[in-house]
Structure 1
Amino acid sequence: MPNLNCGLDLIGEVLYGKWKIRLLWFIHQGFQRPSELQRKIPDASRRVLNVQLKELENHELVGKIIYPVVPPKVEYYLTDFGKSLIPVIAAIGEWGDQNDQRLRTLIEKNIQS
């Protein structure tokens, strides 16, 4: 059982996963089909994206529409609960942009170590 003593523990449990924040952001931007999300995040395997999308769905941050066509067409959308995270994700992105050069230097330094 994970440690869920505070809000940071809770959000870590829900958003833990390399691609989840990006998935939420790209779905918010209108990229809803799995193939579109795969193109936006080419470093992630389709399997990993599917697992993380399923976890986001289980945490009620995204919903899924399956259209009854052949081949099946799937689209993801943000729930109201998921939409409530967008300002937080935007703030984190802005912080990253404001500290771009410092973060790049630190990341590259740690990779070389």
Structure 2
Amino acid sequence: MRNRKIGFDYSSDHFEGCPVETTLDVIGGKWKGILLYHLIDGKKRFNEFRRLYPKITQRMLTLQLRELERDGVVHREVYQQVPPKVEYSLTEFGRTLEPIILHMKDWGEKYKDRVHSETALNTEDEI
């Protein structure tokens, strides 16, 4: 199980549990999947994420990116220049999540279509 300050507790018996739980510990939460999805297209800077999702707070974005970096999924590149430039990208290991993230995107589109169709049918039934 994840401890925000130190990452996973690999010594815990709980870590040997369900692999789906382990995956969700790494990519779960409101923002991580979204961040990973946008990194599939290439490197992003911190403020690019802020523009894409203005509702995410700076603190939460920082926490999510740090956790993804600590888990070896995201690489943080700091360029020594003024002003400082930082870019985030998927690591080679992070790229192994691409099919999962893209399947989640496809499933989300199908689910939205299904809900939209059901809503339209229910609206027609009420008329």
Normalised to the residue count of structure 2, the TM-score between the two structures is: 0.75
- The answer (yes or no) to whether the contact 1:62–1:79 under 8 Å persists in 2 is yes
Q: Secondary structure at the match of 2:54?
A: coil
Q: Between Structure 1 and Structure 2, whose CA radius of gyration is higher?
A: 2
- Alignment gaps of 5+ in structure 2: 3-13, 120-127
Q: Deviations over 1:85-105 (max 9, x none)?
A: 011111111011112144577
- Alignment gaps of 5+ in structure 1: 107-113
Match of 2:75 in 1: 63
Q: Secondary structure at the match of 1:99?
A: helix
Match of 1:27 in 2: 39
Q: 2-side partners of 1:98 and 1:59: how far apart?
A: 30
Q: Secondary structure at the match of 1:30?
A: coil
- The answer (yes or no) to whether the contact 1:19–1:52 under 8 Å persists in 2 is yes
Identify the range of structure 1 (54-63 vs 35-44) with the bigger mean alpha-carbon deviation. Answer: 35-44
Match of 2:65 in 1: 53
Identical pairs, percent? 38
Match of 2:22 in 1: 10
Normalised to the residue count of structure 1, the TM-score between the two structures is: 0.84
Q: Deviations over 1:28-85 (max 9, x none)?
A: 1235100001111111011110110000000000001100011210001100111110
Alignment RMSD (CA, Å): 1.9
Q: 1-side partners of 2:55 and 2:113: how far apart?
A: 22
Alignment of 1:27-106 (within 5 A): 27-103=39-115
- The answer (yes or no) to whether the contact 1:63–1:78 under 8 Å persists in 2 is yes
Match of 1:109 in 2: none
